[in-house]
C-alpha cells in the first residue's frame, strides 16, 4: 500500500508540475500584443526588443506570479482549515478574513479613495482588516477558561462574516458610483493590479506563513484524528490551532489584498487532492500549492481568452468552475453515507 500510495502521489505531483509550467508559458504568450516564444524567452533574460521586455516583464509576468501565489496560498489555507476543523468542506473564509478584507477595501475606497498611500491603500486596508477580523474570531471564540473550541470558532466566524457583510452592504449603499464600481470589480477578483511592489511583500509574508504551516504538518495530521488522540500524542493543541488559524488567515489576507476575493480555490483544490493523494499534510500542502497555482493560472488564461482587451474577473471564472465541482463532491459524499 505504501509503495502504491507513493507512486500515486508522485504521479499527481508530476502532473500538477507539468500543468503549472505549461500554464505559465501559455499565460506569458496570450495577450492583446503578439509576442513570439523566442522573444518571450529573450525578454525574460533581459534581452531582445524593448517593447517585448516591457510587456512580458512588467505586465504579463507580474500577473502570472500573482496568480501562482494567490492560488498556492488559498489552497494551502484551505488544506489547513480542513484539517483543523476535521471537515473536508471547510474553507478559509471560516476565519472571517475574506469578509474582513472586503470591509477594509470598501472602507478605503469610500473614505480615502484608492489614491491614498501611493495607490496601495486598498491592499493595505484589506490586509489589515482581514487579519483583524480573524483575530476577532479567535479571541471571541475562546472559552472563559482560555480554551479553544472549534465549534465556537466556527459560530463566531459566521457572526463576524455576517457583521462585516452588513457593514459592506451599508457602505456600498452609501458610496458614490465610481467607488461602488471599483469595489465591485475588486470583490470579483482580478490580477490586473498586480505589480512587483505589491507582490514582493505579499510573497514574503505568505512564504513565512507557508513555512510555519508546513512545520506544523505532523501536528495537523494528529488534530485531524481528533483532539484527544492529538493530546495523548503530545501535541500542544492550543498552539497548533493558533498557528493554523494565523497562517491560514495570513495566506488568505495577502491573496485577497493583492487579487481581490477569489472563491472556491481554497475549498475545491485541497479537497480533490486529499481524495487523490491522501490526508497527510506533509504531502497535501505542497500538492495543494501546485494545484491552486495551476487552477488560477488556467482560470486567468480563460478570462483573457474570452476578452483579450478586457479580462473577465478571475473570481467569476473560479466560481463558475468551482460551484459545479463542489455540488458534485457534495452529492457523492451524501451517497456514501
Average pLDDT by stretches of 10, the chain with 337 residues: 66 94 94 87 86 90 95 94 82 84 83 60 83 88 66 84 86 68 74 86 93 93 80 83 89 87 89 88 94 94 82 85 78 61
pLDDT value of residue 265? 92
Cα of 59 vs its chain's centroid, Å: 21
| Whether domain 2-335 has CATH 3.30.450.70 | no
pLDDT value of residue 193? 77
Is residue 148 classed exposed, middle or buried when 0-12, 13-18 and 19+ CB atoms within 10 A define those classes?
A: middle
pLDDT value of residue 2? 44
pLDDT value of residue 283? 93
pLDDT value of residue 189? 84
Sign of CA dihedral 108, 113, 115, 117: negative
pTM greater than the 0.95 cutoff? no
pLDDT value of residue 197? 86
Amino acid at each position: 500500500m505504501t509503495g502504491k500510495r507513493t507512486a500515486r502521489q508522485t504521479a499527481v505531483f508530476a502532473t500538477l508540475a507539468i500543468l503549472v509550467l505549461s500554464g505559465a508559458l501559455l499565460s506569458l504568450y496570450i495577450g492583446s500584443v503578439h509576442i513570439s516564444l523566442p522573444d518571450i524567452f529573450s525578454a525574460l533574460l533581459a534581452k531582445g526588443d524593448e517593447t517585448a521586455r516591457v510587456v512580458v516583464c512588467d505586465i504579463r509576468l507580474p500577473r502570472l506570479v500573482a496568480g501562482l501565489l494567490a492560488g498556492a496560498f488559498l489552497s494551502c489555507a484551505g488544506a489547513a482549515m480542513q484539517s483543523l476543523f476535521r471537515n473536508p468542506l471547510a474553507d478559509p473564509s471560516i476565519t472571517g478574513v475574506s469578509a474582513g478584507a472586503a470591509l477594509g477595501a470598501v472602507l478605503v475606497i469610500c473614505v480615502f479613495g484608492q489614491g491614498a498611500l501611493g495607490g496601495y491603500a486598498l491592499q493595505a486596508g484589506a490586509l489589515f482588516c482581514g487579519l483583524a477580523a480573524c483575530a476577532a474570531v479567535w479571541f471571541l471564540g475562546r472559552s472563559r477558561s482560555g480554551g479553544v473550541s472549534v465549534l465556537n470558532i466556527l459560530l463566531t466566524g459566521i457572526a463576524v462574516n455576517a457583521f462585516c457583510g452588513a457593514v459592506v452592504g451599508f457602505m456600498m449603499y452609501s458610496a458614490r458610483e465610481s467607488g461602488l464600481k471599483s469595489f465591485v470589480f475588486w470583490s470579483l477578483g482580478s490580477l490586473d493590479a498586480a505589480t512587483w511592489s505589491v507582490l514582493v511583500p505579499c510573497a514574503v509574508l505568505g512564504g513565512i506563513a507557508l513555512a510555519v504551516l508546513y512545520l506544523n504538518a505532523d501536528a495537523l495530521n494528529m488534530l485531524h484524528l481528533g483532539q484527544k488522540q492529538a493530546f495523548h500524542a503530545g501535541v500542544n493543541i492550543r498552539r497548533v490551532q493558533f498557528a493554523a488559524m494565523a497562517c491560514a488567515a495570513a495566506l488568505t489576507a495577502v491573496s485577497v489584498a493583492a487579487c481581490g476575493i477569489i472563491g472556491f480555490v481554497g475549498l475545491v483544490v485541497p479537497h480533490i487532492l486529499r481524495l487523490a493523494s491522501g490526508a497527510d499534510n506533509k504531502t497535501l500542502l505542497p500538492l495543494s500549492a501546485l494545484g491552486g497555482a495551476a487552477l488560477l493560472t488556467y482560470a486567468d488564461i480563460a478570462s483573457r481568452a474570452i476578452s483579450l482587451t478586457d479580462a473577465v474577473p478571475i473570481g467569476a471564472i473560479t466560481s463558475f468552475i468551482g460551484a459545479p465541482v463542489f455540488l458534485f463532491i457534495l452529492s457523492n459524499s451524501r451517497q456514501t453515507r
